[in-house]
Amino acid sequence: MEAYLPGTLLALLFICFIVQLYYLVYYHRRLAAYEPLAELKKSNIPISVIISARNEEQNLAANLPAILEQDYPDFEVVVVNDCSLDESEEVLKELCAKYAHLKVAVVTENDRFKTGKKFALTMGIKAAKNEHLLFTDADCKPASSNWISRMAVNFEGPTEIVLGYSPYSGTSGFLNAFIRFETIRTAINYLSAALAGNAYMGIGRNLAYTKTLFFKNKGFASHMHVMSGDDDLFVNENATRENIAIEIHPEAFTYSPAKESMSALYRQKRRHMGVGKMYQNKHRRMLSFDALSGLFFYILVVISLILTHDPLLALGLLLFRIIAQLILYYKIFRKLDGKNLIWYLPFFDLVYYVYLNIFGLIGTFIKTTQWK
């Protein structure tokens, strides 16, 4: 048995290496080669920006003016005040007095029927007067006054869904650096998949789609019982090869603060990972192969070094993969406001795959019961 062990380990290592190389070359190179429009094209499509807010008085006061003052000819902002117990109502009244294109919908608490973000967003969509909808969160601030313009210009031809990008604001510390790194790696996956005609998710902090698409496919009905997934499950169900577009111009980013503690990050990621089991089978397989092959690649490299089974070959494969990632990802990290994070890659990539598998396992068994 021991005679076969070195060969078996080497074969498994090569398989994991090839799988990782496949994702890098087939998917991720598409995003590396993709260039957003440098010159802003004119768009006059009426847009409804929709925000669901629960106890967000400070974020509404800080971020909503930047959305209401966008440089766009025809838009409204619909804020759904979702069962807030703070001073959100007063903040919104003050803003309504100043901005005529701000509309407020109110969801009140019901003892017999517990509402969540999907219910609030549905109310916002029904209240919106326009066909083209743009979504963000109350804690997000657009990177520029051209955010709506950059997202809206993608609605041409058969496009019904536009995937935007929403980085976290940079601060000091390991946790913030890793959160921002992980956000970019997640974006690399879902944006590359969209460019390959296999979109499986989007981020609700910066996402657009049409009202017709929402109601044609019964909105969130198939997963209304799940608290999370208003963004990724909707995209997973409704995206096709023809109806999807991405927007990654820096003017189209929306920024939000990252979690500041491990416990807060755990709660957030537990919600997000919990919906992955509801993705289409082909997307679950695609993501699982990436997560498992990435983790086992590192495990098998370490085992080869410990057992001295072809250690130079194992180190060679590791070095080749890191160099290939650095060459390809440098372009992407630069585009996604993470140029300074690329040099963390040799260490963070290992942490990323450990984290991905742990939270994927947690999400499989834990049910999320609240959206905030």
Q: Do residues 162 and 207 make contact, with C-beta atoms less than 8 angstroms apart?
A: yes
Query: Is 228 in contact with 307 (CB distance < 8 Å)?
Result: no
Cα gap 43→151, rounded to integer Å: 10
Residue 365: pLDDT band with limits 50, 70, 90? low
**Confidence check: pLDDT of 45 > 50:** yes
Residue percentage of the chain with pLDDT more than 90 = 74
Q: What is the mean pLDDT of residues 315-332?
A: 96
* Cα three-residue angle 334-335-338, rounded to 5 degrees: 45
Three-state secondary-structure class, residue 371: coil
CA–CA separation, 136 and 217 (whole Å)? 21
Range 291-304 average pLDDT: 95
> What is the distance between the alpha carbons of residues 230 and 117, in angstroms, rounded to a whole number?
7
User: Among positive and negative, which fits the CA dihedral 214, 281, 292, 309?
Assistant: negative
Q: How confident is the model at residue 271 (pLDDT cuts 50, 70, 90)?
A: low
- For residue 342, pLDDT over 50 is answered with yes
In the chain, what percentage of residues exceed pLDDT 70?
93
Give the model confidence (pLDDT) of 109-139 as tens digits: 776 666 789 999 999 999 999 999 999 999 9
If phi > 0 it is left, if psi is from -120 to 50 it is alpha, else beta; for residue 53 that is beta
